[in-house]
């Protein structure tokens, strides 16, 4: 995906934009970023008032899109036409084929087709590919979030510790836009070149460095019942910021990794990293947890978490409150 992004950026910076851009896929963040880059860089600022138009798929038809695309630019070499939320045109998108086969050379047409995959066997996809550029924005899974955050921070000339990065991943989830917005707030108050620490995250983003899922995992792995109980109580008092379904999901990942760790013959750090796909920084947490929680107990915990996951979704919960679920969670794990 980085290669596609770099190629798109390079051709626009050189003043050679394609007449067609199809930006599609499950991750809206990169579609928005690419669209904004095109909007900011194809035309000069003074050309945009008359030669840059944004329309929305839910308010437009393919005929209207084509009519706009066939206009000629005013006092400029080209015009930019951006179709946002184009997934609302998914039932009629094939009607754009005649235009895509012979696009207006003076128009840069940008299709932002979010949350959906486009069948690459379709003629419309091949027309955009052959006469312009296509970019598939693939979903980033949790195991790729830490490197993504690391790059985001490094690009701004900051540093971040693996522990601080893990806290962001576990607290903000996979919403890339939200992560970027929260980090931008933090960057405003932290000198360039600094390291992003747990203290800074707590102060500027509002994520507690003491009461979070990451700290809960550590406490459970260490069998520190008092610390785990304090965190659970904090979660119960702050349900909006600490949804029980997220806690169960993250703990499920941790205990599955712990079960895999128990099953390894080679417990060297390098092999654990390779076999489990975890950051080297967190291998020590698994070592401690494996020492305190035997394999048979881990299997039982995973089964309990599955039952609690169903209860958190209302299956057999008998109107259990958020607090009740958390207390049962603690009982099952300890």
Radius of gyration of the chain (CA): 25
Q: In the sheet that 79-84 helps form, which strands lie side by side, from edge to edge?
A: 52-56, 79-84, 107-114, 20-25, 133-136
First-to-last alpha carbon distance for the chain, in angstroms, is 43
What's residue 288's pLDDT? 93
CA distances from 65 to 33, 60, 112, 132, 133 (A): 22, 7, 13, 17, 18
What's residue 292's pLDDT? 93
| Tens-place pLDDT, residues 160-199 | 988 888 888 877 777 898 899 999 989 999 999 999 998 9
What's residue 31's pLDDT? 95
| Tens-place pLDDT, residues 212-227 | 888 898 999 999 999 9
| Tens-place pLDDT, residues 257-276 | 999 999 999 999 899 988 98
Phi and psi (nearest 5°) for 150? -60, -40
Q: What pTM was computed for the model?
A: 0.73
What's residue 317's pLDDT? 67
What's residue 319's pLDDT? 72
What's residue 1's pLDDT? 63
Taking the C-alpha atoms of 234, 237, 240 and 243 in order, what is their torsion angle to the nearest 10 degrees?
60
> Could you say which residues of the chain have pLDDT below 70?
1, 316-318
Distance CA 61, CA 95 (A): 10
The domains of the chain, with CATH numbers, are: 2-136 (3.40.50.300), 142-204 (1.10.8.60), 213-333 (1.20.272.10)
């Amino acid at each position: 995906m980085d290669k596609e992004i770099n190629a798109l950026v390079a051709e626009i910076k050189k003043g050679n934009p394609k007449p067609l851009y199809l930006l599609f896929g499950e991750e809206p963040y990169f579609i928005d970023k690419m669209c904004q880059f095109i909007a900011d860089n194809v035309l000069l600022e003074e050309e945009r008032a008359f030669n840059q138009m944004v329309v929305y798929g839910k308010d437009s038809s393919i005929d209207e899109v084509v009519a706009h695309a066939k206009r000629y630019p005013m006092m400029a070499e080209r015009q930019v036409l951006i179709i946002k939320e184009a997934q609302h045109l998914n039932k009629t998108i094939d009607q754009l084929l005649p235009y895509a086969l012979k696009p207006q050379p003076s128009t840069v047409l940008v299709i932002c087709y979010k949350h959906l995959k486009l069948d690459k066997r379709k003629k419309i996809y091949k027309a955009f590919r052959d006469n312009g550029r296509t970019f598939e924005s693939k979903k980033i899974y949790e195991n790729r979030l830490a490197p993504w955050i690391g790059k985001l921070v490094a690009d701004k000339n900051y540093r971040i510790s693996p522990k601080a990065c893990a806290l962001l991943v576990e607290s903000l989830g996979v919403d890339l836009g939200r992560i970027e917005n929260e980090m931008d707030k933090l960057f405003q108050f932290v000198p360039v070149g600094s390291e992003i620490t747990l203290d800074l995250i707590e102060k500027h983003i509002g994520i507690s460095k003491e009461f979070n899922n990451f700290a809960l995992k550590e406490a459970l792995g260490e069998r520190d019942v008092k610390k785990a109980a304090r965190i659970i109580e904090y979660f119960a008092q702050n349900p909006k910021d600490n949804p029980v379904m997220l806690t169960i999901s993250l703990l499920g990942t941790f205990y599955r990794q712990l079960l895999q760790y128990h099953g390894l013959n080679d417990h060297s750090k390098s092999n654990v990293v390779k076999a489990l796909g975890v950051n080297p920084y967190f291998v020590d947490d698994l070592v401690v947890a494996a020492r305190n929680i035997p394999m048979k107990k881990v299997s039982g915990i995973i089964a309990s978490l599955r039952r609690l996951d169903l209860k958190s979704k209302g299956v057999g919960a008998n109107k259990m409150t958020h607090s009740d679920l958390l207390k049962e969670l603690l009982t099952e794990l300890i």
